[in-house]
Amino acid sequence: MRTSPNIIITGTPGVGKTVHCEQLAQETGLKHLSINTVAKERGCHDGYDEKLKSWIVDEDKVPIFSFPYYYLLDEIENEVAQGGYLIDWHACDLFPKSWIDLVVVLRCPSTSILYDRLASRGYGEDKLQENLDAEIFEVLLDEARQAYDEEIVVELMSENDDEIESNCSRIVSWIDAWQQNRTTTDG
């Protein structure tokens, strides 16, 4: 049985997933697991999309250097099964329900703020528009709500530093309660 929870921190690119994960990792000791990094380093991708300037992550991709062959989920299963991970990715529906204790969907509904964040990363117009549309239409929030039980999906705003601090504090409190509940239930 896990003694620390697994939490997905998801949302449209530019909403602050990595910032939240890094701060939470420092505050809680949970490990930051960037799916983009895993896919790149372990070969779970279909190459680089020059137009969108990003790796094409493929959860079904077989890395050519692995034997036996593994898929993205196989690559992280042993780690995540132990618990204690902050899973950082812009999608969440591929992770099995049994792995996940909380899904945090970060939102930045102010398109001007999100646009500025993405533009500062050098995103091209196609990628900017694709991500702004995803945020406007709540694509990732809907995905999370369809993939996981309602009670573990939390939507948090992430437009400024105060909201990031408040979000992290709220998540830390949730982690403490989760761990306390495990101790009480097991003891």
Q: Does 182 appear as a known binding residue?
A: no
185 sits in the region (left: phi over 0; alpha: psi -120 to 50; else beta) called: alpha
List the one residue out of 97, 77, 105, 80 whose CA is nearest residue 12. Answer: 105
Q: Does 172 appear as a known binding residue?
A: no
End-to-end CA distance of the chain: 13
Q: Which ranges in 29-110 belong to alpha helices (H)?
A: 35-41, 72-81
Q: Does 14 appear as a known binding residue?
A: yes
Q: Does 17 appear as a known binding residue?
A: yes
Q: Which ranges in 11-95 belong to alpha helices (H)?
A: 17-28, 35-41, 72-81
For 68, residues 6+ apart whose C-beta sits below 8 A from its C-beta are none
Q: Does 84 appear as a known binding residue?
A: no
Task: Tell me 1's DSSP state.
Answer: -
Tokens 């694509």 correspond to what residue? 139
Q: Does 121 appear as a known binding residue?
A: yes
Q: Which residues are annotated as a binding site for ATP?
A: 14, 16-19, 121
Q: Which residues are annotated as a binding site?
A: 14, 16-19, 121
